[in-house]
Amino acid sequence: MNTRTLVKNLAALPDGPVTVSGWVETVRDQKKVQFVILRDESGAVQLVNPATRELPEPIEGGEADAAASARLATTESISALAHGTFLTVSGELKHDERVKLGGLEVKIGSLEVVAEANPETPIAADSSLDKRMDWRFLDLRHPKQHLIFRIQTTFEHALRQYWVDNDFIEIHTPKLMASASESRAELFEVDYFEGKAYLAQSPQFFKQMAQPAGFGKVFEIGPAFRADPSFTSRHATEFTSIDAEMSWVDSHEDVMRMHEELLVAAFTAVKEKHGAEILDLFGIELEVPTTPFPRIPLAEAKQIVADRGYVIPRDDADIDPEGERQISAYVKETYGHDFVFLTDWDISLRPFYHMRHPEDSALTNSYDLIYNGVEISTGAQREHRIDVLVEQAKEKGLDPEELEFYLDFFRYGVPPHGGFGMGLARVLMLMLEEHSIRETTYLFRGPTRLLP
C-alpha cells in the first residue's frame, strides 16, 4: 500500500516525492500542459503534467523511448478523466507561491485510475434541493457540505466534553417503546412479534428513569422519530436529538443555566476550530453567545410581538413561527443576542409531566429556546410527586394504567429534576444560516423520503 499524504498536510512537507489520492474536481487539458484539481477529504491540490501528444520518431529503427511512451499514456489518461474519478498520483511536490491553490502543486510522475466515474454528472451547482438529496453522496463532496459534518463532529464532541467535565453520565436509551412518551398522534407504530411497538419520539421517560436510579445527571445524543407529516424546512420524521436530565433542580432556571453553558462551550469549540473556514465558505462570522441568555415569559413575549405590529393568529396560548421570528428580532435589537428563552408556558401547551408553576397553576416551569428566530429546544422542571403526576396525566386524557411502567419510577423516591431535548440539525442549520435541515442532516428522512 502506497503511503498516502492528505492534501492538508502537503504544505508542511519539503519539495520532493509524494503520493496523493482523491477525486477529480476539474481538468484543464491544454496543448502543452495539463492541470488537474484533485480533492480529498481534507482539501484540494493542483496536479500538473507537461503534455506529451505523440511519440518521438524511433532512433535508427529502434523502438520509441519507454519514458516517452509512459508520458504519452499519462497524457491520454488525463484527457479522458471524468469529473469524480478517483485517482492515486505519485509525483514531485513543489512549493510555488504563483500557484493560486495553496501555493503548491504536484508534478505527475505516475497516475492510477482507482475508480472511473460516469462522464455525465447527475447534479450541478444549480440543481434543486430534492435533486441533490437524490444524489446525496455526490452532493456531500462539495466543500461546504463536507465542512458541515466536521462542524457537527466538533459540536457534539464539545457537548460531551462539557457534560463529562460536569459529572454527567452518558446513556443509550431504547428506541422501541411499549407506549407513547408524548403525543400518540406522532407515533410510528411497528409490528413487534405478536404485538405492537412504537418508535421513540424522545428518550424522555428513560432519562427520567435515571433520576430514581441515582445517576444524578445524564445525557444522550441519539435518534428520535416523529410521525409528523410536516413539509417545513425544520421538520423531519427521523432526527438526532440532544438530551440532558439532572437531579436536584430548584426550578427550570437551573436547567436553563446548564443549557446556556453547554451551548457556549460548543460554539466556542466550533469557532476556534472552524471559524476561518465558516467565514470563507459560508460568509459568516460565527459569534459565541454570552451568558446569561435573555429570558422572557411567553405572555410578555406575545405582547412584545403584538406591540411590534404582528398579532399571532391563534386563539390558544401558543406562539407561531412568525412570532418566534419577531421576538428574536426584538431580542437582537434590544440585547444584541441571538438566543432567547421563552419561559412559563401554559399547561395546555405542555405534556403532563411538566411541573406546574408554584404561583400560577395554569403555567409550567418550562421554556423553549429560540435561536435566530427558530425554536431549537424545549426544557422544563419535571413533576416528581406521584399523586400530582397521576392527576396531570388524567387531565391530558391519558390512561394511568398505560403509563404504569413510567409512574412506577416515582413510587420509590425520586429527586426534583429537569432537563431538555434539542434538535441537532436545527442548531447547525441556524448556525450556518442554511435554509433547511436537509442541508445539515447526513441523510434526511421526511414524509416522502426514505432514499437514499
Q: Report DSSP letters for 320-352, one per residue.
A: -HHHHHHHHHHHHHHH--SEEEEE--BGGGS-T
**Burial of residue 419, with CB atoms counted within 10 A of its CB: 0-12 exposed, 13-18 middle, 19 or more buried:** buried
Q: Report DSSP letters for 142-187, one per residue.
A: SHHHHHHHHHHHHHHHHHHHHHHHTT-EE----SEESS-SS-GGGP
Annotated binding residue 401: no
pLDDT at res. 382: 98
Annotated binding residue 425: yes
Annotated binding residue 382: yes
What is the phi/psi pair of residue 112, to 5°? -120, 120
Contact yes or no for 389/405 (Cβ under 8 A): no
Domains of the chain: 7-115 (2.40.50.140), 132-431 (3.30.930.10)
Contact yes or no for 262/162 (Cβ under 8 A): yes
pLDDT at res. 68: 80
Annotated binding residue 16: no
Q: b or e along 255-291 (b: 16 or more beta carbons within 10 Å of the residue's beta carbon)?
A: bbebbbebbbbbbebbbebbeeebeebbeeebeeeee
Contact yes or no for 84/122 (Cβ under 8 A): no
The 8-class DSSP code of residue 141 comes to T
Cα–Cα nearest to 221, from 278, 155, 281: 155
What is the distance, to the nearest Å, from the Cα of residue 203 to the centroid of all Cα atoms in its chain? 19
Per-residue pLDDT of the chain (452 residues; tens, 9 = 90+): 558 999 999 999 999 999 999 999 999 999 899 999 999 999 999 999 998 877 766 655 455 577 788 889 899 999 999 999 999 999 999 999 999 999 999 999 999 999 999 999 999 989 999 999 999 999 999 999 999 999 999 999 999 999 999 999 999 999 999 876 565 668 999 999 999 999 999 999 999 999 999 999 999 999 999 998 988 989 999 999 999 999 999 999 999 999 999 999 999 999 999 999 999 999 999 999 999 999 999 999 999 999 999 988 876 678 999 999 999 999 999 999 999 999 999 999 999 999 999 999 999 999 999 999 999 999 999 999 999 999 999 999 999 998 899 999 999 999 999 999 999 999 999 999 999 999 999 999 999 999 99
Annotated binding residue 257: no
Using DSSP bridges, classify how beta strands 104-115 and 86-95 pair: parallel, antiparallel or unpaired: antiparallel
Annotated binding residue 423: yes
Annotated binding residue 424: yes
What cell numbers appear for 315 in the block?
A: 386563539
- Rounded CA-CA distance 302/155 in Å is 32
- Rounded CA-CA distance 208/214 in Å is 11
The helix (H) or strand (E) run that includes residue 266 is helix 252-282
What is the number of alpha carbons within 13 Å of residue 245 lying toward its C-beta? 26
Contact yes or no for 170/282 (Cβ under 8 A): no
